[in-house]
A and B are shown apart, each in its own frame.
Chain A
Amino acid sequence: MRLRAAIAALMLSALPAWAELTIPVHYLRQIVPQPPTLSNLDPRPERLGIDGASLALADNQTTGQFLGQTYRLEITEVPEGGDFADAMRAALAATPFVILDAPADTLLSVADLPEASEALLFNASAPDRKLRSQECRPNLFHTGPSLDMRTDALMQFLLSRRWTGLALIHGTHAEDLAFADALTGSASKFGLKIGATKEWAFDADMRRNATQEMPLFTQDLGRHDVLLLADEIGDFARYIPYNTWEPRPVAGSEGLRPVAWDRVVEQWGAAQLQSRFEDLANRPMRPLDYAAWAAFRAIGEAVSRTGTDDPAALRAYMLSDAFELAGFKGRPLTFRTWNGQLRQPIPLVHAHAQAALAPLDGFLHPRTELDTLGLDAPESGCTRFQ
Chain B
Amino acid sequence: MIRTTLALLVLSAPAAFADEMWITNERDDTISVIDTQTLEVTRTIPTGARPRGIIFSHDHKVVYICASDSDTVQVMDPDTGEVLHELPSGEDPEQFALHPDNRHLYIANEDDAISTVVDVETRTVVAQISVGIEPEGMAVSPDGKIAITTSETTNMAHWIDTETQKIFANTLVDSRPRHAEFTSDGAELWVSSEIGGTVTVFDGATQTEKAKITFDLPNIHPDRIQPVGFEFTPDDAIAFVALGPANHVAVVNMASYEVEEYILVGRRVWHMAFNRDHSQLFTTNGISGDVTVIDVASRKPVKSIKVGRFPWGAAFRPTN
Chain A residues close to B by CB (< 8 Å): 13-14, 16, 59, 62-63, 66-67, 269, 272, 275-276, 301, 304-305, 324-326, 330-332, 368-370
Min CB distance A181 to B, Å, is 30
Residues of the B chain whose Cβ atoms lie less than 8 Å from the Cβ of A63: 132-133, 151, 153-156
B133: which of A14, A59, A304 is its contact (CB, 8 Å)?
Answer: A59
CB distance A62 to B172 under 8 Å? Answer: no
CB distance A62 to B113 under 8 Å? Answer: yes
B134: which of A272, A304, A370 is its contact (CB, 8 Å)?
Answer: A272
19 pairs from A and B in contact (CB 8 Å cutoff) = A14-B207, A14-B208, A62-B133, A63-B133, A63-B153, A66-B158, A66-B170, A269-B134, A276-B111, A276-B133, A301-B175, A305-B172, A324-B175, A324-B195, A326-B194, A330-B245, A331-B195, A331-B223, A368-B221
Residues of the A chain whose Cβ atoms lie less than 8 Å from the Cβ of B29: none
Who on chain A is nearest to B195 by CB?
A326
**Bound Cα distance A91, B223 (Å):** 37
Min CB distance B155 to A, Å, is 7
Residues of the B chain whose Cβ atoms lie less than 8 Å from the Cβ of A332: 175, 195-197, 223
CB distance B176 to A66 under 8 Å? Answer: no
Residues of the A chain whose Cβ atoms lie less than 8 Å from the Cβ of B176: 269, 326
The answer to whether the Cβ of B110 comes within 8 Å of any Cβ in the partner chain is: yes
Residues of the A chain whose Cβ atoms lie less than 8 Å from the Cβ of B223: 331-332, 368, 370
The answer to whether the Cβ of B224 comes within 8 Å of any Cβ in the partner chain is: yes
Residues of the A chain whose Cβ atoms lie less than 8 Å from the Cβ of B110: 272
Name the interface size band of chain B. 20 to 34
**Bound Cα distance A325, B194 (Å):** 12
Residues of the A chain whose Cβ atoms lie less than 8 Å from the Cβ of B188: none
The answer to whether the Cβ of B152 comes within 8 Å of any Cβ in the partner chain is: yes
Min CB distance B275 to A, Å, is 30
Question: Can you add 13 more A-B contacts, CB < 8 Å, to A63-B132, A66-B167?
Answer: A14-B207, A16-B172, A63-B133, A63-B156, A66-B132, A272-B110, A272-B153, A275-B111, A301-B175, A304-B155, A304-B172, A324-B175, A331-B195
Min CB distance A342 to B, Å, is 14
**Bound Cα distance A235, B156 (Å):** 45
CB distance A324 to B196 under 8 Å? Answer: yes
Min CB distance A35 to B, Å, is 37
CB distance A331 to B224 under 8 Å? Answer: yes
**Bound Cα distance A326, B152 (Å):** 9
Which chain B residues numbered 190 to 228 have a C-beta less than 8 Å away from chain A?
A: 194-197, 207-209, 221, 223-224
Residues of the A chain whose Cβ atoms lie less than 8 Å from the Cβ of B174: 324
Residues of the A chain whose Cβ atoms lie less than 8 Å from the Cβ of B167: 66
Residues of the A chain whose Cβ atoms lie less than 8 Å from the Cβ of B221: 368-369
**Bound Cα distance A370, B207 (Å):** 36
Min CB distance B153 to A, Å, is 6
CB distance A62 to B175 under 8 Å? Answer: no
A59: which of B153, B158, B175, B195 is its contact (CB, 8 Å)?
Answer: B153
**Bound Cα distance A332, B245 (Å):** 13
Who on chain A is nearest to B175 by CB?
A326
**Bound Cα distance A275, B92 (Å):** 11
**Bound Cα distance A269, B224 (Å):** 15
**Bound Cα distance A165, B175 (Å):** 42
- Among B156, B196, B221, B223, find the residue whose CB has the most chain A CB atoms closer than 10 A: B223
CB distance B245 to A269 under 8 Å? Answer: no
Who on chain A is nearest to B111 by CB?
A275
Min CB distance B154 to A, Å, is 4
Who on chain A is nearest to B172 by CB?
A16
**Bound Cα distance A305, B196 (Å):** 13
A326: which of B153, B156, B209, B224 is its contact (CB, 8 Å)?
Answer: B153
Query: Per-residue 0/1 for B168-181: is the Cβ within 8 Å of any A Cβ (1 yes, 0 no)?
Result: 00101011100000
Residues of the B chain whose Cβ atoms lie less than 8 Å from the Cβ of A16: 172
A325 and B175 contact, Cβ closer than 8 Å, known pairs A62-B113, A62-B154, A330-B245: yes
**Bound Cα distance A369, B170 (Å):** 34
A13 and B158 contact, Cβ closer than 8 Å, known pairs A276-B111, A331-B223, A332-B195: no
Residues of the B chain whose Cβ atoms lie less than 8 Å from the Cβ of A66: 132, 154, 156, 158, 167, 170
**Bound Cα distance A356, B207 (Å):** 41
Min CB distance A4 to B, Å, is 19
**Bound Cα distance A331, B196 (Å):** 9
**Bound Cα distance A275, B174 (Å):** 24
B132: which of A62, A269, A370 is its contact (CB, 8 Å)?
Answer: A62
**Bound Cα distance A326, B170 (Å):** 19
5 smallest CB-CB distances across A and B, nearest first, come from A331-B223, A66-B170, A63-B154, A326-B175, A326-B195
Min CB distance B52 to A, Å, is 12
Residues of the B chain whose Cβ atoms lie less than 8 Å from the Cβ of A305: 172
Which chain B residues numbered 259 to 287 have a C-beta less than 8 Å away from chain A?
A: none
Who on chain B is nearest to A325 by CB?
B175
Query: Per-residue 0/1 for B128-150: is the Cβ within 8 Å of any A Cβ (1 yes, 0 no)?
Result: 00001110000000000000000
**Bound Cα distance A41, B194 (Å):** 39
